[in-house]
Amino acid sequence: MWVLSMGNVWSVVLGVASLVCLFSGVVELLYGMSVVISWSFVGFGSLNMSVVVLIDYMSLVFCGVVLFITGMVLRYSEFYMGMGADSSRFFYLVLLFVGSMLVVVLSPSFLSLLLGWDGLGLVSYCLVIYYQNSKSYSAGFLTIMSNRLGDVGLLLAIGGLMGYGSWSIYGVWFDLYWWVAWCVLLAGMTKSAQIPFAAWLPAAMAAPTPVSALVHSSTLVTAGVYLLIRFTWFVGGEGYFMVFIMYAGLVTMSLAGWAAIFEHDLSSVIALSTLSQLGLMMVVVGAGGFSLAFFHLITHAMFKALLFLGAGKVIHSMGGNQDLRVMGSVVGGLPLTSLMMGLASLALCGFPFLAGFYSSDMVLDYMMAGYLGWFGVLVMLVGTFFTWLYSVRLIWVVMGGWWMGNVVSSLMDDESGYTTPMLFLAIGSVLSGSGLSWVILPLPGNDWFYSEIKLVPVILVLLGVVGGYVLGFSYVSESVVVSGLRGVGSGLGGLFFVSGAVLVSKPLRLGEGIGILVDSGWGETLGGRGVYQMWGLTTYYLQWMQENTVKVFLMVGLGWAVLFILV
């Protein structure tokens, strides 16, 4: 009997709302409609402070996907998190987190977008530190500090746009201040964890697995990509701006893929795969393929949420262990979960006729048709090859191979609370690509379909399958070569240190030094403490003069006499 509970009720409500949003979004796209709702609550001069809501196909489809994944995650969370005394706190935090994301999606105005943007950062901090241990606190601090750095860019952009009399993204500004666009880019890159701001995303894995499924699929990290899609689509960008976005995405994609190949933590491998896919989306945004980037954003949300929920079930069954070196052959005890994880991993690679195939294959065709030079195409192909390597290696090490389950507590695959959300997400991972490709994307031109270009994905598939199998076998056997390569690739080649220690720790220490210098040093000497000491001495001498009038009179007379003699 299906008992109604908080997770069940919210999953049904959000599922129905997602269907309404998806259907409305498809209708608006087919008929070319969009609605702008604006509430002006204060105005001064030519500048009006208003809350704006933009309802078009992009916002409705994205809202539908966010609500659908949230409903499945809440249903999953009841079994994964348990129904303890603080379960309601977890559910309310997740709903507040998703509500902030919906505000970001529906807001074409920087002023109203800032509400959801700050809400995402603050609530994500509460979710990352949910377990309240030292690791969670460190990860939460790194997460919120990195995001606040991007928030500063958004605040500066809002201040710079006051001269235009509007904060709306869809306003066409032909003479937009160049630094405003770069401030928006800073906000988008920090929220989407692009190099050199990438350290916080793997660290945020300290949050519960359902939260990670939301963060890495359709909420926090996708907000930066969505902002840049909206901003560059409506406003446009000058050449250097778009080229910088493109090559920043290429660097992030390739380095994250390289690090994922040699990572031995299951959650970190999936987190690095998210980082790699976000870099791919940035490449497409920089090339001007906004609809294509949005399409890949939607398909990626489906199979990435499925991959995280499957990984959470495996970790839960392994007694909380996440080390790939003690996993293997879990398909015998978790056949359905293994099938779902394999399906999600293949969709991530772009396996034919899965959701990722329709977007990834189109991205390769689009970028190789002349939007990147030969070096950029080479880097993108290498990054795609890395995706196949770590995905096939993950499938082999976790599900295949030989039994390494010496720390397994239980292997059961019969809980409906785990399997039902994964089945619904699996349907989305299979059908979302083919179902939305004909709606969102226009038919490409014939010049995209060169025979040489169409052979490239096939070659990558063959090389990736063989390389991933060999890498998985050698990884488990702990070969010297793989251990050396893992040492080189760990931490994104030192960039985690740069984005974690240099960009967060070093400024904090600098601020601490400035605070000590200003509050306890010269600022205090010349400020509050100095004024206090000066008035204390002044009052002391005045009091002394009042108590020793005759002495003071004689000393003053003596002083004048000496001065007269000298002159």
What's the pLDDT tens digit per position in 507-516?
667 767 776 6
In order, the DSSP letters of 274-314 are HHHHHHHHHHHHHTT-HHHHHHHHHHHHHHHHHHHHHHHHH
Q: What single DSSP character describes residue 171?
A: S
**What percent of the chain has pLDDT above 90?**
0
Reported as a pLDDT band with limits 50, 70 and 90, residue 122 is: confident
Task: Look at residues 348, 219, 233 and name the one whose alpha carbon lies nearest to residue 288.
Answer: 233
Average pLDDT over residues 154-171: 75
pLDDT at 245 over 80: yes
Q: Which of 149-158, 159-168, 242-251, 382-391 has the lowest mean pLDDT?
A: 159-168
Using alpha carbons, select from 191, 108, 203 the residue that is nearest to residue 150. Answer: 191
Q: Judge whether 201 and 304 are in contact, CB under 8 Å.
A: no
Phi, psi at 81, each rounded to 5°:
-90, -20
Structure tokens, 559? 């002083």
DSSP string of 91-153, one letter each residue = HHHHHHHHHHHHHHHH--BHHHHHHHHHHHHHHHHHHHTTT-SHHHHHHHHHHHHHHHHHHHH
Q: What percent of the chain has pLDDT over 70?
A: 73
pLDDT band at 444 (very low <50, low <70, confident <90, very high): very low
- Please report the beta strands in 254-396, taking only residues with DSSP state E, as ranges in sequence order: none
pLDDT of residue 531: 75
Please choose, from the candidates 439, 424, 442, 433, the residue with its C-alpha nearest in 3D space to the C-alpha of residue 19.
424
Q: Give the C-alpha distances (Å, rounded to integers) separating 217 from 197, 273, 322.
A: 18, 11, 20
List the one residue out of 387, 427, 379, 375 whose CA is nearest residue 277: 387
pLDDT tens for each residue of 92-104:
888 888 888 888 8
Instruction: Give the pTM.
Output: 0.80
Residue 92 tokens read as 């309310």
Residue with the two structure tokens 């529906």? 106
Strand-pairing partners, residue 323, are: 265
Residue 403 has pLDDT above 60, yes or no: no
* Exposure string for 237-259, b = 16+ CB within 10 A, e = fewer: beeebbebbbbbbbbbbbbbbbb
HSE-CB at 558 with a 13 A cutoff on CA atoms is 6
Single-letter amino acid, residue 338: S
* Residue in this structure with the two tokens 């770590």, named with its chain if needed: 390
In the numeric block, which tokens belong to residue 233? 């689509």
When pLDDT is averaged across residues 183-208 and rounded to a whole number, the result is: 84
The mean-pLDDT minimum among 15-19, 373-377, 439-443 falls in: 439-443
Render 187-240 in DSSP notation, one character per residue: HHHHHTT-TTS-THHHHGGGS-HHHHHHHHHTSHHHHHHHHHHHHHHHH---HH
Of residues 411 and 558, which shows the higher confidence score? 558
221 residue type, one letter: V
Tokens 């309310």 belong to residue:
92
Strand 47-55 vs strand 35-44: parallel, antiparallel, or unpaired? antiparallel
pLDDT surpassing 50 at residue 449? no
Is 550 a residue whose pLDDT tops 80? Answer: no
Which of 150, 71, 154, 80 is closest to 337 using CA atoms?
Answer: 80
- Structure confidence by residue, pLDDT tens digits, 17-36: 888 888 888 888 777 777 87
pLDDT at 2: 43
Q: What is the pLDDT of residue 151?
A: 85
Contact 310, 340 (CB under 8 A): yes
Task: State the DSSP code for 498.
Answer: I
- Name the token pair of 474: 């050698």
Which residue has better confidence, 328 or 431? 431
